Chain A
């Protein structure tokens, strides 16, 4: 690219809306002449807001927008040398194609023959010469799109803003328009600022991509830079499919992940610094197990035409299975006193037995008594139990002043741990009691099961929490009957997405290889 001058400079733009929502949190960005710049990010990241500030439709709360060195924050849209292609085109429905394109020139009161000449040139550029007299509402999405571009370009702006202009088009048309837009941009030689949430679109067309998330710029770079050298987890994940693995630097050009050392091209990290290692699916290849740098099992393979999307698991997660006792306790009725009492079986850890008192036992068993007629609660006067700090089953009896009583089981359990030595990970969970209604009424059963079983997993290396990603059980929560059920919690293993032309059987034992230059190492960052 030739040396260019800065055309637009965003200086620390902050935008907050009346409801207090901060959409842009101090964005600074330089845009050069004749660039095709793409603002890329998920919806709500602030990219459209930034574009609308440049178009003049929004005022920034703070910061400056310099156009050719001059602050244009207070310049109204109709005085800016910028034109916009709107998301839904915003063609004037009461005008035909010609009048739509001529709109800007008519406002500027250019002579009729000049207008006609320019409009026809634009129609030729977007290959719609024969459509001048058509009504815009009769055109297809792609044609309207081109008219919108022609209508903006005919004013010879120095910058063209495009707000997700291809969003409404179908895939094939979108691909065509991507090429066409790129061609038009090179043809007219002006700056295009293009907003999209489609990473592929951004990679295809841009000279420069600005990746945004949550009102901040994450990375600015050429498509290759952004794709090959993402600066953080967000960018790596947002741009294309990717594998991100926890690693530790061993010095320059040497990184450890999955307990193995691998040469790479990464400098400037501290020794023993924790990093994220990025390997793109297409940079991994599947080889026989003995030749692999990493070994694993094929978990799934999807045929995608040109290639297979294969998932290889190099290590399984840590797993624990606990027993869930499901009871259905009905309240006991004392007809003479007109009282009912209820309590449920409960479970307690060996270590906690010493701290038990009456109130705690009542709470653990959710024991309650009430008047049958008034439903007024009645206090439980007496709690009898003899729970020893030994694994076993004990009886607990609750009695009211009127003598209404109920007896339930309390189980004392040892801790239930599984340690996964190889991967330095531990998982913990407890057996537990639950009532049928609790399970039937649960809205998020997996989460509730985790809570009830106090299930958690952590790394033995640094004590950090590891997410439990899988909860398995063999009952139907809708129709569950009292009984004992197995519940299994597991953490995620390491899985690699591989894009390969090699067909594999599911469950096949394979090896993975990659080249040192295809490993990209990123600093660990909290943001995602």
Chain B
């Protein structure tokens, strides 16, 4: 494929300008002080020190990770059975179900989150319905429940699709083989289906955890002002306080945390396949 190599140059240029350069700028900003002249950089670790030493920020970071992990776990718990059920269907209902699951993602995420605001509000649909039964009004919006609900709702299609793909591509004769060797359907699931669908779960985790940990408008809209996550802080540093240096530092910290977590999940993913390679 040597002759096609020159065709990649436009993409390399594109990636350099649109992705690598901004990343470098973020790194540059994170290590400099605000307000300096363009050509006289003043390197400092103060931005990081400020983040790590301020308990408020650490609390926000902890909350962000907690919400993201919880969202991911709920997505696995709900998404796996759904993906499994879809994989068992015949090809026609299979296609329809996949379509139904992907359909909401055709609508802008922001719009869908606004819709949830309407549903969860104190005088929203849900509370009106509860009102008929003499319950409530239950305050749901601006709670961690609302934020997690919004995140699960927005990100679960990615989890379902990933798990479904790995289940669908599994050879059905493996289950027959397991049954043949004496495994009950439950044992066959635990020993064959589950381990073989783990790669799907892992990539599902990546696809859910990443946007969940850095999301800022879901907590903003559904969590109200009092529910601040890391994404919100970064957003406010850039858009309200104008402290790009501190914002960049937080972004960098988040990027490192995300990379670490991805590396960890990769490790878990690779392990079963390479077992016994010694």
Binding site for B on A (CB under 8 A): 55-57, 76-78, 82-84, 86-88, 90-99, 103-104, 107-108, 133-135, 151-152, 155
Check B276 against A96 for contact (C-beta < 8 Å).
yes
Among candidates B174, B182, B275, residue contacting A104 with C-beta atoms closer than 8 Å: B182
Report whether A77 and B275 are in contact in the complex, using a CB–CB cutoff of 8 Å: no
Given the known interface contacts A94-B195, A96-B276, A135-B273, the answer about A151 and B181 at a Cβ–Cβ threshold of 8 Å is yes
The answer to whether A84 touches B180, judged by C-beta atoms less than 8 angstroms apart, is yes
B70 CB contacts on chain A under 8 angstroms: none
A97 to B277, CA, bound (A): 10
Within the assembled complex, what's the spacing in Å between the Cα atoms of A275 and B36? 107
Instruction: Identify B176's interface contact among A57, A95, A135, CB under 8 A.
Output: A57
A151 contacts which chain B residues (CB < 8 A)?
A: 181
Contact with A86, one of B173, B182, B196 (Cβ below 8 angstroms): B173
Q: Which residues of A contact B192 (CB under 8 A)?
A: 92, 94
| CA gap between A99 and B180 in the complex, in Å | 16
- Are A83 and B181 closer than 8 Å at their CB atoms? yes
**Which residues does chain A contribute within 8 Å of B196, judged by CB atoms?**
92-94
How many Å lie between the Cα of A77 and that of B178 in the bound state?
9
Assembly CA distance A99 to B275 (angstroms): 10
Query: Are B179 and A77 in contact, CB atoms less than 8 angstroms apart?
Result: yes
| In the complex with contacts A94-B196, A98-B276, A78-B180 CB distance below 8 A | yes
Contact A108 B273 (CB under 8 A): no
Cross-chain contact A77 with B276 (CB below 8 angstroms): no
Q: Chain A residues near B278: list those with CB within 8 A.
A: 133
B272 A94 Cβ-Cβ under 8 A = yes
Q: How far is the CB of B271 from chain A (nearest CB, A)?
A: 10
Q: Are A92 and B277 in contact (CB under 8 A)?
A: no
Q: How far is the CA of A87 from the CA of B277 in the complex (A)?
A: 26
Alpha-carbon separation in the docked complex, A133 to B180 (Å) = 23
Cross-chain contact of B183 among A93, A107, A134, A152 (Cβ < 8 A): A107
Query: In the complex, are the beta carbons of A103 and B178 less than 8 A apart?
Result: yes
Question: Quick one: CB contact mask for B177-211 with A, threshold 8 Å, 1 for yes?
Answer: 11111111001000110011000000000000000
B37 at the interface (CB under 8 A from A): no
A107-B182 CB under 8 A given contacts A94-B195, A135-B276, A135-B277: yes
Q: Is the CB of A77 within 8 A of B176?
A: yes
Assembled-state Cα–Cα distance A246/B147 (Å): 86
From B195, B273, B276, A134 is in contact (CB under 8 Å) with B276
11 A-B residue pairings within 8 Å (CB atoms): A56-B180, A77-B176, A78-B182, A83-B181, A84-B180, A90-B177, A93-B196, A94-B196, A94-B272, A103-B191, A133-B277
Most B C-beta atoms less than 10 A away, residue of A76, A107, A151, A155: A107
With both chains docked as a complex, state the minimum distance between the C-beta of A106 and any C-beta of chain B, in angstroms: 8
Taking CB atoms, residues of chain A closer than 8 Å to B180 are: 55-56, 77-78, 82-84, 152
Tell me if B179 and A86 are in contact (CB < 8 A): no
Contacts of A56 in B (CB 8 A): 179-180
Chain B residues within 8 Å of A88, by CB: 171, 173
Assess the B173–A90 pair: CB atoms within 8 A. yes
Within 8 A of A (CB), among B249-278: 272-278
Alpha-carbon separation in the docked complex, A483 to B88 (Å): 65
Q: From known contacts A92-B192, A133-B276, infer whether A155 and B182 are also in contact, taking CB-CB under 8 Å.
A: yes
Give CA–CA (A55, B179) in the complex, Å: 10
| Bound CA–CA A76/B195 (angstroms) | 23
Q: Which 3 A-B pairs have the closest CB atoms?
A: A96-B276, A104-B181, A90-B177
Residue from A56, A84, A108, A134 with most neighbouring chain B CB atoms (10 Å): A84
Q: Which residue of A lies closest to B192 (CB)?
A: A92
Q: Give B contacts to A, CB under 8 Å.
A: 171, 173-174, 176-184, 187, 191-192, 195-196, 272-278
- Extra inter-chain contacts (11) besides given A78-B183, A84-B180, A103-B191, CB under 8 Å: A55-B180, A57-B176, A76-B179, A78-B181, A84-B177, A93-B273, A94-B192, A94-B195, A95-B276, A97-B276, A133-B276
Residues of A close to B173: CB separation below 8 A: 86-88, 90
Chain A residues whose C-beta falls within 8 Å of the C-beta of B176 in the assembled complex: 55, 57, 77, 84, 86, 90
Query: Closest Cβ of chain A: how far from B272's Cβ, in Å?
Result: 5
- Among residues of B, the one whose C-beta sits closest to the C-beta of A132 is B276
A84 to chain B, nearest CB (A): 5
Which residues of A have CB within 8 Å of B275? 95-96
Q: Given A77-B176, A86-B173, A93-B196, do A103 and B181 touch, yes or no (CB 8 Å)?
A: yes
B residues within 8 A CB of A96?
275-277
Is there an interface contact between A92 and B174, defined as CB atoms closer than 8 Å? yes
Per the bound structure, the CA–CA distance linking A56 and B178 in Å amounts to: 13
Residues of chain A within 8 A of B171, CB atoms compared: 88, 90
Q: What separation, in Å, do the CA atoms of A481 and B232 have in the docked complex?
A: 84
Q: How far is the CA of A76 from the CA of B275 in the complex (A)?
A: 32
- Closest residue on chain A to residue B179 by CB atoms: A77
How far is A87 from B275 in the complex, measured between Cα atoms in Å? 26
Check B276–A107 contact: CB distance below 8 A. no
Closest to A136 in B: B276
The distance in angstroms between the C-alpha atoms of A103 and B171, with both chains bound, is: 17
State A56–B180 Cα separation when bound (angstroms). 8
Output the least CB separation between B151 and chain A (Å).
Answer: 31
Query: Least Cβ distance of B32 to chain A in Å?
Result: 49
- Give the distance in Å from the alpha carbon of A104 to the alpha carbon of B274 in the complex: 22
Complex Cα spacing A77 to B95, Å = 30
Nearest chain-A residue to B180 (Cβ)?
A84
Cα A83 to Cα B182 in complex, Å, equals 9
A108→B182 contact, CB < 8 A = yes
Residues on the B chain within 8 Å of A95, using CB: 275-276
Docked complex Cα distance between A95 and B274 (Å): 9
Q: How far is the CA of A155 from the CA of B276 in the complex (A)?
A: 23
CB distance from A99 to the nearest CB of B (A): 7
The answer for the CA separation of A152 and B276 in the assembled complex, in Å, is 21
Taking CB atoms, residues of chain B closer than 8 Å to A82 are 180
Q: How far is the CA of A97 from the CA of B276 in the complex (A)?
A: 9
Chain B residues whose CB sits within 8 angstroms of the CB of A93 once the complex forms? 196, 273
Give the distance in Å from the alpha carbon of A146 to the alpha carbon of B175 in the complex: 19
Distance from B160 Cβ to chain A, minimum over Cβ atoms (Å):
22
**Residues of B close to A90: CB separation below 8 A:** 171, 173-174, 176-177
For A87, the closest partner residue in chain B by CB is B173
Q: How far is the CA of A133 from the CA of B272 in the complex (A)?
A: 13
Q: Is the CB of B177 within 8 A of A92?
A: yes
Interface-central residue, B176, B196, B272, by most chain A CB under 10 Å = B176
Min Cβ gap A525→B in Å is 37
User: In this complex, what residue of A is CB-closest to B176?
Assistant: A57
CB of B235 to closest CB in A, whole Å: 42
How far apart sit A83 and B179, CA to CA, in the bound complex (Å)? 9
Instruction: Tell me whether A86 and B276 are in contact (CB under 8 A).
Output: no
**Smallest CB–CB gap between A303 and chain B, Å?**
42
Closest to B184 in A: A78
Smallest Cβ distance from B239 to chain A, in angstroms? 47
| Cα(A62)–Cα(B131), bound, Å | 59
Residue in A94, A98, A107 whose beta carbon sits within 8 Å of that of B187 in the complex: A107
Closest to A81 in B: B182
List B contacts of A55 (CB < 8 A): 176, 180
Residues of B within 8 A of A84 (CB): 176-177, 180
CA distance A57 to B188 in the complex (A): 14
B183: which A residues are within 8 A, CB to CB?
A: 78, 103, 107
In the bound assembly, the distance between CA atoms of A96 and B277 in angstroms comes to 8
Q: Point out the residues of chain A lying under 8 angstroms from B277, CB to CB.
A: 96, 133, 135
